[in-house]
């Protein structure tokens, strides 16, 4: 190989090296520091640049994008002398590549140490509770201090975050117990409020229920009373449409009176004074209006009843239609029934009561069979005139007397 060829190859190799050393391409979001003969020359921005071979040299390649760096947990003492471990995360970006290269040797380490010292100053002025509940305040204070300190380094701190704040295990146990007690307290309060609300609702419901029941009962009583009033009014109207008189009432009274003594619990029966008046009315029902007749009804001046005196509206009467009989037959039946009723009344009146006293003892005389006295109006002398039909005569012709217990005292 001759010398000329070797020299040509050396020249070509040198040219290639010169071209490679002279041309520099800078990527986006990147800056390069160029030194000429060891002195800062310029900062290369993104793009293509030409350098002087063997004179210009690239000192550093700086990334201008925002960087994230996480530091290991740092022990920090709070104002209440508790040691807590805090993990921090720093978000920063290089704004001036020249300052980042020439103002500090290692800006990452500088940021870490500055973060630790600033964090201790901030946490040292707070107690544990404030440290746990004031993360935003701590982040703001750290960012302000770090941004001001790293500004002259050509670095901008975007934000600072606290990843974790770990108190001692003893404090964690106490906090857990406190939190558990607080949750139990809140649960108890909520349960009590629920029970209270339920009791109030139950009481309100019971109140409304009682009010409705009372209103229903009152309405029921009102309706029942109105029904009874209508029934009484209808009965009253029916009785008046039937045109009853004292004779009918006396007859009904005489029928009901013996029933008063029926029953095992009746030990004493007092014959009332109205019994004589009832017998008077019963006697007048058969047309006996004279003062000396055996049937007398007080001072009744009305005409004797005849079959023609039947009311026109008897068909509408609640008592129904009554078939008229022969007066003598009706008189005989009435005398038999009256005698039977008087016998029952006399038997009850003479029944001994408690303490050996007679049933009629101490009562007003109710029955008497004394003969009429001339010149005396039987209607004005109760007990003297007998409203009872004549009883069977004794052989001597005298009327049969009432038992001794029923005679007038």
Q: Per residue in 282-304, pLDDT tens? A: 555 555 544 443 444 444 444 44
- What percent of the chain has a predicted confidence (pLDDT) above 90? 11
Considering the domain architecture, whether residues 156 and 298 belong to the same structural domain is answered as no
Burial 275-290 (b: 16+ CB within 10 A, else e): bbbbbbbbbbbbbbbe
Domain shared by 368 and 266, yes or no = yes
Residue 314 pLDDT: 41
- The pLDDT of 345-351, averaged and rounded, is 58
Are 293 and 391 in a shared domain? yes
Mean pLDDT rounded to a whole number for the chain: 73
Is there a contact between 406 and 381 (Cβ–Cβ < 8 Å)? Answer: no
Determine the structural domain holding residue 376 and report its residue range. 247-406
The total of structural domains in the chain comes to 4
Is residue 203 in some structural domain?
A: yes
Please indicate, yes or no, if residue 1 is contained in any of the structural domains: no
Distance in Å from the first CA to the final CA of the chain: 190
User: How much of the chain, in percent, has pLDDT values that exceed 70?
Assistant: 62
User: Domain check: are 109 and 197 in the same one?
Assistant: no
Helices (H), 35-134: 97-102, 107-124, 128-133
**Residue 222 and residue 84 in one domain:** no
CB 25 within 8 A of CB 89: no
Token look-up 């078939």 returns 323
Q: Classify residue 2: in a domain, yes or no.
A: no
What pLDDT, in 10s, does the model give residues 166-178? Answer: 888 888 888 888 8
Structure tokens at 249: 């009432």
Residues 6+ apart with CB under 8 A from 297: 246, 247, 250, 280, 281, 283, 284, 285, 288, 289, 379, 387
One domain, residues 203 and 343: no
Q: How confident is the model at residue 1 (pLDDT cuts 50, 70, 90)?
A: low
Whether residue 203 is found in the same domain as residue 281: no
Give, in order, the Cα–Cα distances in Å from 10 to each of 2, 6, 53, 55, 376.
13, 6, 17, 21, 188
Residue 58 falls inside a structural domain: yes
> Confidence class of residue 141 from pLDDT cuts 50, 70 and 90?
confident
Report, in angstroms and rounded to the nearest whole number, the Rg of the chain calculated over CA atoms.
67
pLDDT band at 128, cuts 50/70/90?
confident
- Give the DSSP letter string of 299-345: T--SPPP-GGG--TTGGGSTT-------HHHHHHHHHHHHHHHHHHH
Strands across the sheet with 56-63, in order?
Answer: 39-44, 30-36, 56-63
Task: Among 208, 241, 274, identify where a domain stops.
Answer: 241
pLDDT at 233: 87
Q: Does 8 fall in a domain? A: no
Asked if residue 5 belongs to a domain, the reply is no
Least confident of 96-100, 176-180, 270-274: 270-274
Alpha helices (H) in 164-292, listed in sequence order: 169-241, 246-256, 274-284
Same domain assignment for residues 49 and 107:
no
Query: Is residue 197's pLDDT more than 90?
Result: yes
Residue 329's pLDDT is: 64
> Do residue 297 and residue 326 come from a single domain?
yes
């Amino acid at each position: 190989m001759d010398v000329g060829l070797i020299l040509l190859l050396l020249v070509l190799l040198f040219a290639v090296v010169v071209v490679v050393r002279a041309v520099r391409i800078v990527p986006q979001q990147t800056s390069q520091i160029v030194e000429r003969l060891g002195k800062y020359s310029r900062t290369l921005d993104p793009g293509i640049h030409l350098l002087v071979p063997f004179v210009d040299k690239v000192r550093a390649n700086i990334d201008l994008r925002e960087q994230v760096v996480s530091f290991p947990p740092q022990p920090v003492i709070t104002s209440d002398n508790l040691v807590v471990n805090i993990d921090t995360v720093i978000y920063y970006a290089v704004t001036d590549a020249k300052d980042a290269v020439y103002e500090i040797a290692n800006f990452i380490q500088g940021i870490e140490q500055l973060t630790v010292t600033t964090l201790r100053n901030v946490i040292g002025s707070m107690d544990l509770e404030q440290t746990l509940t004031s993360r935003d305040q701590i982040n703001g204070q750290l960012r302000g201090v770090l941004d001001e300190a790293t500004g002259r380094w050509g670095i901008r701190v975007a934000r600072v975050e606290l990843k974790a704040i770990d108190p001692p295990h003893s404090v964690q146990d106490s906090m857990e117990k406190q939190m558990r007690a607080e949750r139990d307290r809140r649960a108890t309060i909520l349960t009590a409020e629920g029970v209270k609300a339920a009791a109030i609702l139950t009481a309100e419901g019971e109140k409304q229920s009682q009010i409705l029941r009372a209103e229903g009962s009152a309405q029921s009583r009102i309706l029942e009373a109105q029904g009874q009033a209508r029934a009484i009014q209808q009965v009253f109207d029916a009785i008046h449409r039937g045109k009853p008189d004292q004779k009918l009432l006396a007859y009904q009274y005489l029928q009901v009176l013996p029933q008063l003594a029926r029953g095992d619990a009746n030990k004493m029966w007092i014959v009332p004074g109205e019994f004589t008046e009832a017998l008077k009315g019963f006697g007048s029902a058969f047309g006996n209006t004279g003062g000396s007749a055996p049937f007398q009804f007080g001072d009744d001046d009305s005409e004797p009843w005849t079959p023609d005196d039947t009311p026109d509206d008897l068909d509408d009467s609640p008592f129904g239609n009554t078939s008229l009989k022969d007066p003598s037959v009706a008189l005989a039946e009435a005398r038999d029934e009256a005698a039977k009723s008087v016998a029952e009344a006399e038997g009850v009146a003479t029944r001994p009561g408690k303490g050996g006293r007679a049933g009629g003892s101490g009562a007003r005389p109710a029955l008497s069979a004394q003969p009429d006295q001339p010149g005396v109006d039987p209607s004005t002398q109760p007990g003297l005139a007998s409203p009872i039909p004549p009883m069977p005569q004794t052989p001597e012709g005298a009327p049969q007397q009432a038992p001794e217990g029923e005679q007038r005292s």
